[in-house]
Structure 1
């Protein structure tokens, strides 16, 4: 199946109070923003958060976007920028680097395509995303409550980011006298990381889409998998 969603950004003054939003239907959308940002940042953030929100489903993703900059940045330019150390052909640093690097990570393993739609041309999904992004920018302008939306409800809750298996530690007595089998300790005597039998134990951790994204970025920065990072934390 294919999820069809529109992603859009808004900035009053550009830069100024800014918002982003992605929209699938009235039950599945999200929005956010900043007190001061550009329209391009809002457009990129909308696409990024759409990919994060749908990261736990296998459906293809069709992204409707009225920004040629965003579409070209992701589908044409980003690979070359990355190969040049995130610099453009003229050697100047790429703008919006943080968002582009996060997008580069979020796209890994995903099946997606982009379709350009003309903005403010009564396209239902694009208009819905645009109105929500603008509502956020206006809310920041007025210091009002930010309308964030329900998120990706159709995909169900974000599942456990990883199933972490940790082997029970071998006790010092077993190391010094392997032939001697010690009597098991009562459960009340066990420490947090002591186990009655030496077998792997499963720990499930439920994370929101935003938390999962932060975990992946931190793991990538350390050169380990998200599972390995969680194992170390536990």
Structure 2
């Protein structure tokens, strides 16, 4: 699963505005407008996140501090669509252009949203907020817009790499053989269940280890995940 934060910022609301999504320092993007609202920035951040990851098959966890955005996507959009993008009172839905683009971008994707409180030190949310505000400030001052690297697929995202296999010289020839496990009623693993069930294993690897995994997987013509399964 990819975990990302999406945020918007508008100075004056409306005013110079920015949006940003952030996964890590190697994977983030930002942009904005000379004049827009905070809600437009929040929606655009989510839209661009889904567009940037459209080629991936990963689940996506989107962290937002905007309940407006979360409710639009998870609660209100189906009803608005049925009513021709009008609210219950018959008035047009605000920001309908962004919402329609989001509706198309979400089709077929596996995702969920998580509300996080803004400006309380949440790491990903703060990173997205800083970048969105930097864009708004750049529009206000007429400076360069910090657009970010976009999606690179590098950094802390990549599939995890196993530790290198021990060299033969590290094996103690005088070490006694490891005794066979005797599985009783209190066994840690049920072998019949293990043969038919999926299990999740999480590893923490260094950047160097990850890079070695990617190189070896590419040499075999498989994904890093499939390469790891083959090793197991």
User: What is residue 47 of structure 2 aligned with on the other side?
Assistant: 48
Report the Cα offset of residue 86 of structure 1. Answer: 0.1
Q: 1:160-171 maps to which residues of 2 (within 5 A)? A: none
User: What is residue 143 of structure 2 aligned with on the other side?
Assistant: 144
Aligned residues: 155
SS in 2 for 1:14: coil
Runs of 4+, deviation exceeding 4 Å: none
Q: Structure 1, residues 6-65: CA drift from partner, whole Å, max 9, x if none?
A: 000000000000000000000000000000000000000000000000000000000000
Give structure 2 stretches of 5+ with no counterpart: 155-232
Q: Structure 1, residues 113-149: CA drift from partner, whole Å, max 9, x if none?
A: 0000000010000000000000000000000000000
Whether 1:72 and 2:71 are equivalent positions in the alignment is yes
TM-score with structure 2 setting the length: 0.66
In structure 2, what is the Cα distance between the partners aligned to 1:141 and 1:10?
12
In structure 2, what is the Cα distance between the partners aligned to 1:68 and 1:50?
17
Higher strand share: 1
User: What is residue 211 of structure 2 aligned with on the other side?
Assistant: none
User: What is residue 115 of structure 1 aligned with on the other side?
Assistant: 114
In structure 2, what is the Cα distance between the partners aligned to 1:4 and 1:138?
26
Give structure 1 stretches of 5+ with no counterpart: 156-234
User: What is residue 9 of structure 2 aligned with on the other side?
Assistant: 10
User: What is residue 227 of structure 2 aligned with on the other side?
Assistant: none
Q: 1:83-94 maps to which residues of 2 (within 5 A)? A: 83-94=82-93
